[in-house]
Amino acid sequence: MSNEVVLESAGTLHGQLQRGLGRAARRAADMRGAGEYVYACVRRDPRWDRQCESRRLYYARLMVDLELPAGPVGEHLFDPSDHTDPDDWRVDLALGVLADLVRLSRREAAVPLRRYAEEGAQWFDAVVELIDLADPSLTAGLDELVAARCDDADLALLIPGGHNPVIEAWAAPQPRGAGGATPPPAPYTHL
């Protein structure tokens, strides 16, 4: 599946959604069938520069506002082309949208995100999203899978700076899951 960016006219709702315009979000609320355009944008990432442009929260908020289910985004993750498409970016936006949906209290979005971390071709990216959510209940049992799939360098990439309850939960039974680090010593207190 090719993920070439083909933008619709900026005068159409679809084109405005592709560009991440605020007026498109307002128009979508009043237009029947706008949800299909939102799903199309998530499936065929319309960003020109994916490293500079972020639309994940924009689309996640649209999904919340339009009361769209997360299921079609999850279906995109498990498209038959997932393990054959060489495009590493094919699922990037979808993973981000699902993670932001969880942040927006749409907990059902965690189910396909977690499943993709277990089964998907870009599983590492899904694990990063789950770790960034900082909710150990979403990652319970993933520590063994991650430790088995990752070398020490990859594990180090998963550890965010600062406190993260997921990494701390993984570190107890799986020290290597915390990048091989031992728990920090208790702070010194002078009596």
Per-residue pLDDT of 42-71, as tens digits, reads: 999 999 888 888 999 999 999 999 999 999
Torsional sign, CA 51, 115, 101, 166: negative
Tens-place pLDDT, residues 116-134: 999 999 999 999 999 999 9
Where exactly are the structural domains of the chain?
A: 1-133, 137-180
Those residues whose C-beta lies under 8 Å from the C-beta of residue 57, and which sit 6 or more positions away, are: 100
Angle (nearest 5°) at CA 130 between 176 and 122:
85
Tens-place pLDDT, residues 153-174: 999 899 888 889 999 999 887 6
The answer to whether the CB of 129 falls within 8 A of the CB of 113 is: yes
Cα 63 to Cα 80: distance, rounded to the nearest angstrom? 24
